Amino acid sequence: MIITIIGWIILSFLFLGVILYILYSKAKSQKTIEKMAYTDFVTGYSNWRKFELDVRNLLKKASQNDKHAMVIFDIDKFKAINDIYGHKKGNSILKDIADTLDSITHNNETFARVSSDNFNMLLSYDTREDIINVIKKIIINNDFVNLSFGIYEIKDKSLSISAYSDRASLAKLSIKNNRDINFAFFNDELRDKLLLEDKIEKKMEYALENNQFIMYLQPKYNIKSEKFCGSEALVRWQYTEKEFIYPSDFIPIFEKNGFITKIDMYILEQACKEIRTLFDKGISPLPISVNFSRVDFFKKDFITKIVNICDKYKIPYSLIEIEITESSMFGDTDTLFEVSRSLQDIGFILSMDDFGSGYSSVNMLKNIPLNVIKLDRGFFIDDKNIDKNQIVIKSIVSLIKQLGIRVVAEGIETKSQVEMLRKANCDIIQGYYFSKPLPVKEFEKLVYKI
């Protein structure tokens, strides 16, 4: 009997031990899983998920008088560092920065590498000078790289952690690649910009469906024949009866969120409609150039869509000029060049805008499939060295024309600029000297006299 009782006691202890071991193993596994889920594999510190949790908890614990700021920063030209020195060196730099952040943050602060070379910090402070001093410490301890910081002083604790980060990011972007300034605070001007961006993104689909985007046409003028010879289609957003949203405000946002592809096709369709209307009135239409984003050229159905729209209105392809900016001609050029050649082979005119705005190489002209090059207005606004400017422009125009490419000078506003271009043997001019961008009906009155 006693042996049986002892046996049961031993079995009970063994059973309890097994249960405790299982619970311990489970807890250990849970900690391992959590560590993997919350740890940045490059730096060994918190990742974005852990950062969000920590920030939320720290702000919840903070008293009403405690002040916190979201600080974000990244490394200028970090991709170049990886390309030149390799990813191992790049990761070492990221680890060094994270070690610096770990050494300067306190218990009521936190940080994380959230992606690539992007870091977020939650800092407590009394004055802005406290934040600036922390930034200076980070810069001094990592002086082998250039860092850009954006700061958002948290006032509304009801916003999401991502919203704080977005505001700090907007501040950072305002000084990005500015060698003289390392940091910027989110302010009312940036707040207004953020509100405008929010309004634009919320209303863009509605605006497209309700024809709020309007095509304007800016004439091109041939100074040799002294006749209008074409136009460029430009988009305007008539938000209300009296309020316009400017392209400089909405185009960059559309480029970023991909909506630009819809706008580009919409304006192409408006251009085709106008050409069809002129044909139906017995008028010979002049070509219209339509701007397309680099994003368009990487869509598999890009050429098909353009062809279908033109065919829908029975428009000769030669009356549509496909215009892309100079800066788009860099990066993955193989696809872009292949699509451009295909469009040329079909019969479309290919044009490069903003030539000379900062990326140009004369050598690249022999490789790019182009029919037209538009010289950037920056060529024509230097009044200090008129003689030298004349030589440069004349040489560039001559070279481009010898390659069988037509030249258009844009942004022309004065008679002296027109005369300089006439001497340089440039044929076509576009700019306020001849006409600003016009609503379609006003354009027809000016160009076609109808």
Domain boundaries, the chain: 48-186, 195-447
- Place 91 in a pLDDT band, splitting at 50, 70 and 90: very high
Q: What is the largest CA-CA distance in the chain?
A: 122
- Place 176 in a pLDDT band, splitting at 50, 70 and 90: confident
- Place 238 in a pLDDT band, splitting at 50, 70 and 90: very high
Distance between terminal CA atoms of the chain? 118
The share of the chain scoring above pLDDT 70, in percent, equals 88
Statement: residue 18 has pLDDT above 60: no
Q: Which residue has the higher pLDDT, 385 or 155?
A: 155
Cα separation of 149 and 74, whole Å?
A: 7
| Domain 48-186 belongs in CATH node 3.30.70.270 | yes
- Identify the pLDDT of residue 194: 80
Q: Please state the rounded mean pLDDT for residues 417-434.
A: 91
Residue 55 contacts residue 122 (beta carbons within 8 Å):
yes
Cα separation of 43 and 124, whole Å?
A: 23
Cα separation of 428 and 221, whole Å?
A: 5
Statement: residue 4 has pLDDT above 70: no
Statement: residue 23 has pLDDT above 80: no
Torsion of CA 262, 267, 270, 276, to 10 degrees: -110
Contacts of 320 (CB under 8 A, 6+ apart): 268, 271, 272, 287, 288, 289, 290, 306, 310, 348, 349
Q: What share of the chain is helix, strand, coil (3-state, %, to 5)?
A: 55, 20, 30
Directed axis angle between helix 128-141 and helix 87-104, to 10°? 140
Q: Please state the rounded mean pLDDT for residues 92-114.
A: 96
Q: Which 8-state DSSP code applies to residue 443? A: H
Distances 20 to 12, 23, 70, 140, 252 between C-alpha atoms, Å? 12, 5, 43, 51, 60
Q: What is the mean pLDDT of the chain?
A: 88
Cα separation of 51 and 57, whole Å?
A: 10
Token pair listed for 6: 């002892």
CATH topology of domain 195-447: TIM Barrel (3.20.20)
Q: How many CA atoms lie within 13 A of 295 on its CB side?
A: 15
Statement: residue 33 has pLDDT above 70: no
Token pair listed for 125: 């402070």
The dihedral region occupied by 79, where left means phi > 0, alpha psi between -120 and 50, and beta the remainder, is alpha
Directed axis angle between helix 48-61 and helix 2-38, to 10°? 100
- Place 349 in a pLDDT band, splitting at 50, 70 and 90: very high
Closest CA to 217 of 88, 313, 128, 321: 321
Statement: residue 383 has pLDDT above 70: no
Q: Please state the rounded mean pLDDT for residues 275-291.
A: 97
- Identify the pLDDT of residue 382: 62
* pTM of this structure: 0.69
The predicted-structure confidence for 185-197, as pLDDT tens digits, reads as follows 999 888 888 888 8
- Place 232 in a pLDDT band, splitting at 50, 70 and 90: very high
Amino acid, res. 324: I
Cα separation of 380 and 424, whole Å?
A: 12
Q: Which residue has the higher pLDDT, 9 or 38?
A: 38
Which residues partner with 82 through β-bridges? none
Query: Given CA atoms 336, 174, 170, 90 in this order, what sign does their dihedral have?
Result: positive
State residue 81 phi and psi, 5-degree precision.
-65, -45
Which residues partner with 406 through β-bridges? 372
- Identify the pLDDT of residue 89: 93
Q: How many CB atoms lie within 10 A of CB 392?
A: 14
- Place 407 in a pLDDT band, splitting at 50, 70 and 90: very high
48-186 and 195-447: same fold? Answer: no
The predicted-structure confidence for 142-165, as pLDDT tens digits, reads as follows 988 999 999 999 998 889 999 999
- Identify the pLDDT of residue 376: 83
Statement: residue 360 has pLDDT above 60: no
Least confident of 196-210, 223-237, 257-271, 349-363: 349-363
